[in-house]
Structure 1
Amino acid sequence: MLVDGMALLFRAYFASASSGYIRRTKAGVPTNAIYGFVRYFWDAVQTFDPSHVVCCWDLGGTTFRAQEYSAYKGNRSEAPEDLIPQFSLIRDVIESFGIPNVSYQGFEADDCIGTLATQISQEMNVTILTGDHDLLQLVSPTTSVIIMKKGQGNYKVYTPESLYEERQLHPRQIIDMKALMGDASDNYPGVRGIGEKTAIKLIQEYESIEGILENLDQLSSSVRTKIENDLDMLHLSRRLAEIHCKVPVECAVDGCQLEIDNVLISSKFEELEMKSLCQLIGVEAV
């Protein structure tokens, strides 16, 4: 199981912060996102029973996408102040589980996940735990994407078959769909005036961006004009949408087998004053 650490951590933070209460240690260190992360993560482990686990993270600093398009994710606000110290603490918690933390400067967690999925799926089946539908482009006969839906324990598992059944798209076509419609969350526009419905219809009919461009004369004058006016942004948006699967990261399968060390985990929970999680994980509190 490849875990999208950022997706789980942000989900856990906002799920609890929305109530107005932020869990803290006696010293005032916020831990609400960590507490929620562990609950989400452990529910997924119990549900899908992975033999091996890796957790992937974004790093601070500029990514190759922001270098190519300066407005990339430029619409996002700063992380909440109470969440910032939890970025490093959660990695310590993951280490206490014996799980490798993987990241690489200049790339996003998605790219690390895509790279490791490509590598590891040669040896065993891979599941990706996330809330991010962008990762559906990584679905393959040996890689499933588990989308966390609203509410703990509520999942949608995508295989090539279920993805096609739901959207009538193949995994790689997700990239071209996003190239056409853009992504408001990541702040790139795609082709102005083309939304999801039209993008999906075009990809279903012409299979790819190349297929669409080869058949521009078959399109309505309105759609053709929109594409012709935004050709450069169309190609740029596709580069931004595509997950980079050749990040220089490696993770030996032998090094990510999920083996719980009671002492390490209970000590970490004790340090963060969340001993109640020991019972959840099934370890004895120190």
Structure 2
Amino acid sequence: MTLQPHKIMLVDGMSLLFRGYYALANRGPMYAKNGYPTNAIYGFMQYFFDAIGTFTPTHIICCWDMGAKTFRNEKFPDYKANRGEAPDDLLPQFELVKEMVEALGVPNIGVPGYEADDVIGSLSRTFAKEAQIIILTGDHDALQLIEENVHVAIMKKGLSNYKVYTLDVLHAEKGLSPIQMIDVKGLMGDASDNYPGVKGIGEKTAIKLITEYETIENLLANVDKLTPALRKKITENIDMLHMSRELATIACDVQHEMTLDGCVWCIDMEHAQQKFAEYEIHRLLNRLVEHTIR
């Protein structure tokens, strides 16, 4: 691999926030004196600084979803329609955590009509030729973005616990290329995002079919070679197969104005401490910064 002078960490902000919130759920609610809940922010910052210490980025960008509706809902109105409301004490922390991130000198970016994944994919395509990219997320959909200089760190349970996927790791584990991950999703669907794929085909069968036929196009060209049961499932769900593959595909052409100079990781401690002190978590900031620098 060609070594790059820069290492950009692209953070899936919502993934990190929810992980931080539920990691501290057993401790009960946490509130600052001004009445704002801070448990999700507290957890977010623990994971955030742990990742900085682990991957030592020179640049950081935090990416966010921008509302419930995206271009995928226009294609398929039931997309993510199964998602419930966020917990009441988490809702006010969505915007507050962005303020905290900004106070650290890290840019927040989100584009209406797109998901954080789409922004991450677009940023990775923009910067992959001049930097090493590490995508920090809990979402396996990001595996389709892997390139020689784009790696995906999937957060596992607990701090300092990551599965880092490269081209070689992905192939060794699943026998697939990044683009084939999209075709697998087209076949198996995604229950969490509420699109079905081909009913009756799960991950194991989807991987087996794409491993053998390489692409959905080649699979459909050879559908007569399948067992009658499989052939029936695919031919009866052909429209949803194509729709599911569209929904699973991360958009990598989202327009943005981010530059390398605009995302250099260089914390202004005085400014950050002032902001964190408003919500009485400045001691956490001091501890995390000290640990990360060490």
* Residue 280 (structure 1) aligns with: 288
Q: Does 1:4 pair with 2:12?
A: yes
* Residue 182 (structure 1) aligns with: 189
What is the rounded CA distance, in whole Å, between the counterparts of 2:152 and 2:48 in structure 1? 15
Q: Does 1:242 pair with 2:249?
A: yes
Q: Does 1:131 pair with 2:138?
A: yes
Q: Does 1:144 pair with 2:154?
A: no
The equivalences for 1:183-262 within 5 A come to 183-262=190-269
Taking only aligned residues, the RMSD between alpha carbons, in angstroms, comes to: 1.0
What is the rounded CA distance, in whole Å, between the counterparts of 1:225 and 1:268 in structure 2? 59
What is the rounded CA distance, in whole Å, between the counterparts of 2:160 and 2:98 in structure 1? 23
Aligned residues: 282
* Residue 60 (structure 1) aligns with: 67
Q: Which amino acid aligns with 1:131?
A: G
- The answer to whether the 8 A contact 2:34-2:279 is kept is no
The match for 2:54 among 47, 72, 78 is 47
What is the rounded CA distance, in whole Å, between the counterparts of 2:61 and 2:213 in structure 1? 37
Unmatched 5+ residue regions in structure 1?
Answer: none
What is the rounded CA distance, in whole Å, between the counterparts of 1:3 and 1:45 in structure 2? 11
For residue 16 of structure 1, report the CA deviation from its aligned partner.
1.2
In structure 1, the residue corresponding to 2:126 is in which secondary structure?
helix
In structure 1, the residue corresponding to 2:112 is in which secondary structure?
coil
In structure 1, the residue corresponding to 2:111 is in which secondary structure?
coil
What is the rounded CA distance, in whole Å, between the counterparts of 1:60 and 1:181 in structure 2? 26
For residue 123 of structure 1, report the CA deviation from its aligned partner.
1.0
- The answer to whether the 8 A contact 1:116-1:250 is kept is no
In structure 1, the residue corresponding to 2:92 is in which secondary structure?
helix
| TM-score (norm. length: structure 1) | 0.97
What is the rounded CA distance, in whole Å, between the counterparts of 2:287 and 2:219 in structure 1? 55
- The Cα offsets for residues 122-168 of structure 1, whole Å up to 9 and x where unpaired, read as 21110000010000000010100000001111001000000000010
* Residue 170 (structure 2) aligns with: 163
| TM-score (norm. length: structure 2) | 0.94
For residue 268 of structure 1, report the CA deviation from its aligned partner.
1.4
- The Cα offsets for residues 74-106 of structure 1, whole Å up to 9 and x where unpaired, read as 111011111111011111111111111010000
Could you tell which deviates more after superposition, 248-257 or 126-135?
248-257
* Residue 86 (structure 1) aligns with: 93
- The answer to whether the 8 A contact 1:61-1:105 is kept is no
- The answer to whether the 8 A contact 2:33-2:279 is kept is no
What is the rounded CA distance, in whole Å, between the counterparts of 1:83 and 1:173 in structure 2? 36
What is the rounded CA distance, in whole Å, between the counterparts of 2:23 and 2:168 in structure 1? 31
* Residue 22 (structure 2) aligns with: 14
* Residue 74 (structure 1) aligns with: 81
For residue 66 of structure 1, report the CA deviation from its aligned partner.
0.9
Q: Which amino acid aligns with 2:190?
A: D
- The answer to whether the 8 A contact 1:59-1:104 is kept is yes
In structure 2, the residue corresponding to 1:157 is in which secondary structure?
strand
Could you tell which deviates more after superposition, 253-262 or 19-28?
19-28
In structure 1, the residue corresponding to 2:59 is in which secondary structure?
coil
What is the rounded CA distance, in whole Å, between the counterparts of 1:190 and 1:15 in structure 2? 31
In structure 2, the residue corresponding to 1:84 is in which secondary structure?
coil
What is the rounded CA distance, in whole Å, between the counterparts of 1:93 and 1:21 in structure 2? 22
The match for 1:116 among 119, 123, 131 is 123
For residue 27 of structure 1, report the CA deviation from its aligned partner.
2.4
- The answer to whether the 8 A contact 2:188-2:202 is kept is yes
For residue 61 of structure 1, report the CA deviation from its aligned partner.
4.1
- The Cα offsets for residues 207-229 of structure 1, whole Å up to 9 and x where unpaired, read as 01011001111111110110000
- Same amino acid, percent of matched pairs: 54
The match for 1:266 among 265, 269, 273 is 273
What is the rounded CA distance, in whole Å, between the counterparts of 1:170 and 1:61 in structure 2? 30
What is the rounded CA distance, in whole Å, between the counterparts of 1:140 and 1:14 in structure 2? 31
What is the rounded CA distance, in whole Å, between the counterparts of 1:30 and 1:111 in structure 2? 29
Q: Which amino acid aligns with 1:274?
A: I
Unmatched 5+ residue regions in structure 2?
Answer: 1-8
